Amino acid sequence: MATAVGKKFPNLNVNAMNEMGDTFKLNVLEEAINNKKKVLLFWYPKDFTFVCPTELHAFQAALGEFEKRNTVVIGASCDTAEVHFAWLSTAKENGGIEGVTYPILADSNRNLSSILGILDITDETYDEETGTVLVEGDNVTYRATYLIDEEGTVFHEGINHMPVGRNVNEFLRLIDAYAHVQTHGEVCPANWEEGKTAMAPNAKGTAEYLAAHLN
């Protein structure tokens, strides 16, 4: 499976749902380029499940921090827009995501998730009798996350298995690091955080950093 990092995000219109119950077409690539913003797109397996609502609420809680960084947050799964709205209309104490305000892609035809190669398909076999392809696996997405810059280029891609939730703060750190590179032309060493020392992108810069920061 080829990585998306360093490439333009797929140019594809996908159904989406907002908290008002409006269904509309959303193109992630155009969202970045036309609005000159970074985009965080995160995929989760299914609505009305267990780890998933904890992630959607965690991204909502950090929405102001992403906005400070000129970053749009978009959720996504293979559920339909109608199922998204039912979940958006369900209270948090009942396992719902009421209060989430960012848009959620409804990739129910699995066009975008297929292009990205993030579907849980363990095997495919061709049934000669029926002339159909049979799929082994749930055919829903893993917990994939994409960070896309203002030019529509992917600068981070990460994929978790279903049971493992994400650390939202790590994506804020990655956005900070990439913005530092964009602004200053320096590179960010291991465990770099905003306000810490970065390095010149050459051997001398690495040597100076190691001498100053590692025993």
pLDDT the model gives residue 122: 66
For all residues of the chain together, what is the average pLDDT?
94
- Taking 70 as the threshold, does the pLDDT of residue 123 lie above it? no
69-86 pLDDT tens trace = 999 999 999 999 999 999
Q: What share of the chain is helix, strand, coil (3-state, %, to 5)?
A: 35, 25, 40
Tell me: the pLDDT tens digits for 34-60? 999 999 999 999 999 999 999 999 999
Q: What is the pLDDT averaged over residues 103-115?
A: 97
pLDDT band at 137 (very low <50, low <70, confident <90, very high): low
Residues carrying an active site annotation: 52
Higher pLDDT, 214 or 150: 150
pLDDT above 80 for 127 = no
**Cβ pair 142, 162 in contact under 8 A:** yes
Query: pLDDT tens for residues 159-215?
Result: 999 999 999 999 999 999 999 999 999 999 999 999 999 999 999 999 999 999 876
User: Which amino acid is it at 9?
Assistant: F
Q: At what angle do helices 51-61 and 168-184 cross, to 10 degrees?
A: 40
* 3-state SS, residue 38: strand
Q: Is the pLDDT of residue 124 over 80?
A: no
Here the tokens at position 187 are 């590179």
- Strand runs (DSSP E) across the chain, as ranges? 13-17, 23-27, 38-43, 71-77, 104-106, 123-127, 132-136, 143-148, 154-160
Q: How far is CA 122 from the centre of its chain?
A: 22
Domains and CATH numbers, the chain: 13-166 (3.40.30.10)
pLDDT at 26: 98
Q: How many residues does the chain have?
A: 215
Given a contact cutoff of 8 angstroms between Cβ atoms, the answer to whether 46 and 77 are in contact is yes
Residue 126 has pLDDT above 80, yes or no: no
